[in-house]
Amino acid sequence: MLGQLHDLDLQLLRLFVRVVECGGFSAAQGELGLSQSSISQQMAKLETRLGYRLCSRGKGGFNVTPKGAELLGAIRTLFESIETFRHQSNGVAGRLIGEVRVGLSEALDQSVLQRVAEAIRRFRQRDESVRIELISAMPGEMERLLLQQRLDLAIGYFSLAQHAFDYRELFRESQQLYCAPGHPLFSTDAPLDQTLQASDRVDHPYRFLRRDDPFQGTPCSARSEQVEGTLAFILSGRHIGYLPCHYARSWEEKGLLRAVQHDGTRFEVAFQLARHRAQSPGDAQKAFEEDLLAAFKPGT
């Protein structure tokens, strides 16, 4: 009886299958490149290992015993499984597997989303079996998830002050100061400088102040990290605040927002691809990062 299968056992089982397919020992000589006596010895060795006869050979010709026939079916199943395993193991060697978790900033422009989609398309053309998860979050939340290594990559506008991260700039977004009907700045007759300084603005924790920012020290009784929240404050007519130009465009066209034209009321935000420096990326994460950078490369 077989305990563990060894290479020799597999060789003997293959020999048995070949003998049966050829119809006997003598007919199998040419196929196996062995003498009839050598084949007989190998078959006897297999039968000893198994503890029962596999075939009869003599004046009545070659015949497979009932136990030999049952074993023959099991052998063929075994060899099919081995072949399947071989193909799968060879495929895994060059295949990307696992999971890629990517954080995305809110209210991204259509062109940005198209580039993210292009990165996904490039990645899906690879030999891969990877689950991609896209998570929309605020900059602070994405930084927290990166630090906890619950995100592999994040696309957003960051302070660049987090030394645990590596940053690669992907694109820039224009932001503009806006007001809405009911606010004094919505009227072109309002004294701009004086009204600006007196206006209650929406504070955004991730709108990083510049030295020439015209609102340092001005009133601020509204706060929102989200674009939608900022918009709601502005639409009230009681506050002014910054919005991405692409996001505000449709509201401007409806006459519900107006851009405040003044020095320092328009600026650009650099969006970065960030990852945790201490996190060792797998092959799938490296490949997706490579495809993202290719999709956002100027001219593509």
The DSSP 8-state label assigned to residue 108 in this structure reads -
CATH number, residue 217:
3.40.190.290
Judgement on whether residues 166 and 281 belong to the same structural domain of the protein:
yes
Higher pLDDT, 23 or 159: 23
The CA-atom distances, in angstroms, between 192 and each of 131, 185, 189, 199, 280 are 52, 7, 8, 10, 52
Question: Given the structure tokens 């299968």, which residue do they identify?
Answer: 5
Q: What is the pLDDT of residue 241?
A: 92
DSSP character for 254?
A: T
State the pLDDT at residue 56: 83
pLDDT at 231 over 70: yes
Same domain, 183 and 264: yes
Residue 286 lies in a domain: yes
Q: Is residue 25 part of a domain?
A: yes
Tell whether 179 is covered by a domain.
yes
> What's the half-sphere exposure (Cβ side, CA atoms, 13 Å) at 164?
11
Same domain for 27 and 152, yes or no, is: no
Structure tokens of 124? 């899906």
Tell whether 28 is covered by a domain: yes
Neighbours of 173 (CB within 10 A): 19
Structure tokens at 135: 């998570």
Count the helix, strand and coil residues of the chain and give each as a percent rounded to the nearest 5. Answer: 45, 20, 35
Q: Report the CATH number that the domain containing residue 115 is assigned in CATH.
A: 3.40.190.10
Instruction: Pick the last residue of a domain from 67, 93, 119.
Output: 93
pLDDT tens figures, 251-295: 999 999 999 988 778 888 899 999 999 888 999 999 999 999 999
**Predicted local distance difference test score (pLDDT) of residue 90:** 60
Q: Residues 153-209: pLDDT tens digits?
A: 999 988 777 889 999 999 999 999 999 999 999 987 767 778 888 889 898 876 654
| pLDDT exceeds 60 at position 31 | yes
Average pLDDT score over residue span 26-30? 85
Same domain assignment for residues 167 and 277: yes
118 within a domain of the structure (yes/no)? yes
CA 160/CA 165 separation, integer angstroms: 8
Q: Is residue 1 part of a domain?
A: no
User: Residue with structure tokens 């020799």?
Assistant: 8
Number of domains in the chain: 3
Alpha-carbon distance of 165 to 126, in angstroms, equals 27
Residue where a domain terminates, one of 70, 93, 116 = 93
Q: What's the CA gap between 203 and 225, in Å, rounded? A: 8
Q: Are 15 and 46 in contact (CB under 8 A)?
A: yes
The contacts found for 211-215 with CB under 8 angstroms, 24 or more apart, are 212/263, 212/264, 213/264, 214/262, 214/263, 214/264, 214/265
CB 181 within 8 A of CB 257: no
**Percent of the chain at pLDDT above 70?**
91
Q: Are 156 and 271 within 8 A, CB to CB?
A: yes
Contacts of 54 (CB under 8 A, 6+ apart): 16, 43, 46, 47, 64, 65, 67, 68, 71
What are 78-129's pLDDT values in tens digits? Answer: 988 887 777 666 656 678 989 999 999 989 999 999 999 999 999 999 999 9
pLDDT at 289: 97
Chain CA centroid to CA 187, Å: 49
Q: What is the domain extent for residue 223?
A: 174-268
> Is 50 within a domain?
yes
- Round to whole Å and give the CA distance between 288 and 169: 16
Torsion, Cα 88 89 90 91, to 10 degrees, reads 50
Residue 140 lies inside a defined structural domain of this protein:
yes
220: Cβ contacts below 8 Å, ≥ 6 apart: 200, 201, 202, 203
